[in-house]
A and B are shown apart, each in its own frame.
Chain A
């Protein structure tokens, strides 16, 4: 009964456009109105999806990509939190490092790739470093802003309570900055996935990864494979986004309702 009610209340108008798109896609390929080599029929995409999933090629690629993504993310965000904390707490560190950091930040992410790949080769090291770089900037920036948001009054209370430096960091500054840090980590997760895919597209067809599968599909003009890969990349991105939002809500639930 509840399901029926939910169905009745759900706004089905949102389904119209996607369904119309699918129907149009099916119709033009079925009636041979277009070059079906270029615009492949939806059935062929499903077929290709089933085949690559069954052969394990795509899933192995996905696994390789995720490992790259998460290790780069972990390294980059750890470095980002450390630098953001340092810049936020120490005026001198900010004066010394801040301008350089803000300047280097302006170099568009992918512009680093030719240099990194020349130095480190097109192997795993260059990719992971690149992913780490992509995660580093948003985390460092947001951590810095979060730490700057700690008020003087809060620090004074901590001083009165006799907190030492470590207690100050762990029990005041990090918790107070945690909503901003969480925002930074969330952004970093999205950027890291973007960077993983981008690095796989740009660096070498030899390695395994979901991006490599897609780029090989492009070289072989295998449109079904490209579409399947794209959908999978999108789904993983979406899942990571959902996951980050859920973790954020859970970890920060102490802020209470209204956030």
Chain B
């Protein structure tokens, strides 16, 4: 009796971590169940809103031109997608976004780099830059329309301005925050100027630069929709203006859905890139 209980009590310690062992499939099942529950609870509110929307349509609270039924919105989405209106306009908008990110992001990076690396450049440029950067981008648009017309140049320049500011500010701050010791080590190794930039400054400031890029992308997307709503003859924002003028609110809602979807994709993409970036940082140390 005694020996039996002691043999249990003195079970090899290596068994202890195995004691709460649950079969892997069970843990997976529990995880899946939690995910399913989260998904189900998350869907409650959208479904309620959708039901309310349908109810409001059925009771004719608002005219059908002003409140299209959900089924019509779905049909319009499918139709606009199939006949290429949606995809071609979306492609145009994304092209504008891409060019602006390239131009604005590139010049923002160079500006931030120059201000961060050289005290002289900073002394000359920073005060003026800071002054200009406080002006909301949207304020610029009427002036840009006068100078650049309402063509492609307007969109790309307006959106580029929206990208330059956050990228430049974050690049500059990222470089400022590099510990002095690292720069001294680089000096001890007799790094050339370009070696210092490539092998110390850019990697050390990378997460801050990326943060700036992330803000820049979001600002660019905001300004893009604004500019397209204000002055445009193609693009996703124009599609919405067009739908509103025809009093086809289903097209407007389709535009909102697409804009939201692109926003989600951009957000996810940036989050994925950020995690890759952090993964690299962990490996480095």
Query: Which residues of A approach B to under 8 Å, CB–CB?
Result: 11, 13-18, 21, 38, 92, 95-100, 103-104, 106-115, 117-119, 190, 193-194, 197-198, 201-202, 214-215, 217-218, 221, 223, 226-227, 229-230, 233-234, 237-238, 241
The dominant DSSP class at the A interface is helix
Verify if B131 is at the interface (C-beta below 8 Å from A).
Answer: yes
Task: List A contacts of B45 (CB < 8 A).
Answer: 96-97, 99-100
Cβ contacts B100-137/A at 8 Å (1 or 0 each): 00000000000000000000100111111001001110
Q: Determine whether the beta carbon of A217 is less than 8 Å from that of B142.
A: yes
Query: Which residues of B approach A to under 8 Å, CB–CB?
Result: 38, 41-46, 49, 62, 66, 120, 123-128, 131, 134-136, 138-143, 145-147, 221-222, 224-226, 229-230, 237, 240-241, 243-244, 247, 249, 252-253, 255-256, 259-261, 263-264, 267
Q: Determine whether the beta carbon of B259 is less than 8 Å from that of A14.
A: no
Task: List A contacts of B46 (CB < 8 A).
Answer: 99-100
The CA of A234 and the CA of B125, in the complex, are separated in Å by 19
The CA of A106 and the CA of B124, in the complex, are separated in Å by 38
Q: Determine whether the beta carbon of A103 is less than 8 Å from that of B38.
A: no
Name which residue of chain B comes closest to A15, CB basis: B127
A80 to chain B, nearest CB (A): 18
List the count of A-B residue pairs having beta carbons below 8 Å apart.
Answer: 143
The CA of A227 and the CA of B144, in the complex, are separated in Å by 11
CB within 8 Å for A234 and B42 given contacts A13-B123, A17-B124: no
Name which residue of chain B comes closest to A40, CB basis: B146
Q: Determine whether the beta carbon of A108 is less than 8 Å from that of B221.
A: yes
The CA of A109 and the CA of B230, in the complex, are separated in Å by 14
CB within 8 Å for A114 and B44 given contacts A17-B125, A226-B142: no
A61 to chain B, nearest CB (A): 14
Q: Which of B135, B138, B140, B229 has most A Cβ within 10 Å?
A: B138
The CA of A133 and the CA of B127, in the complex, are separated in Å by 33
CB within 8 Å for A103 and B123 given contacts A96-B41, A108-B221, A110-B225: no
Q: Determine whether the beta carbon of A201 is less than 8 Å from that of B124.
A: no
Q: Determine whether the beta carbon of A111 is less than 8 Å from that of B128.
A: no
The CA of A109 and the CA of B221, in the complex, are separated in Å by 10
Q: Determine whether the beta carbon of B255 is less than 8 Å from that of A95.
A: no
B165 to chain A, nearest CB (A): 12
Which residue in B43, B128, B141 is a CB contact (below 8 Å) of A201? B141
Task: List B contacts of A234 (CB < 8 A).
Answer: 134-136, 139
Q: List 22 A-B contacts (CB under 8 A).
A: A17-B124, A17-B128, A96-B44, A97-B45, A100-B49, A103-B264, A104-B260, A106-B261, A106-B263, A108-B224, A110-B229, A111-B260, A115-B252, A118-B249, A119-B66, A201-B138, A217-B142, A229-B142, A230-B139, A234-B135, A237-B134, A238-B134
Task: List B contacts of A117 (CB < 8 A).
Answer: 244
Name which residue of chain A comes closest to B141, CB basis: A201
Q: Determine whether the beta carbon of A218 is less than 8 Å from that of B264.
A: no
The CA of A233 and the CA of B135, in the complex, are separated in Å by 8
Task: List B contacts of A115 (CB < 8 A).
Answer: 249, 252-253, 256
Task: List B contacts of A11 (CB < 8 A).
Answer: 123
Task: List A contacts of B126 (CB < 8 A).
Answer: 14
Task: List B contacts of A16 (CB < 8 A).
Answer: 124
Q: Determine whether the beta carbon of B146 is less than 8 Å from that of A114.
A: no
CB within 8 Å for A107 and B252 given contacts A201-B230, A202-B229, A230-B143: no
A73 to chain B, nearest CB (A): 15
Task: List A contacts of B244 (CB < 8 A).
Answer: 114, 117-118
Q: Determine whether the beta carbon of B230 is less than 8 Å from that of A202.
A: yes
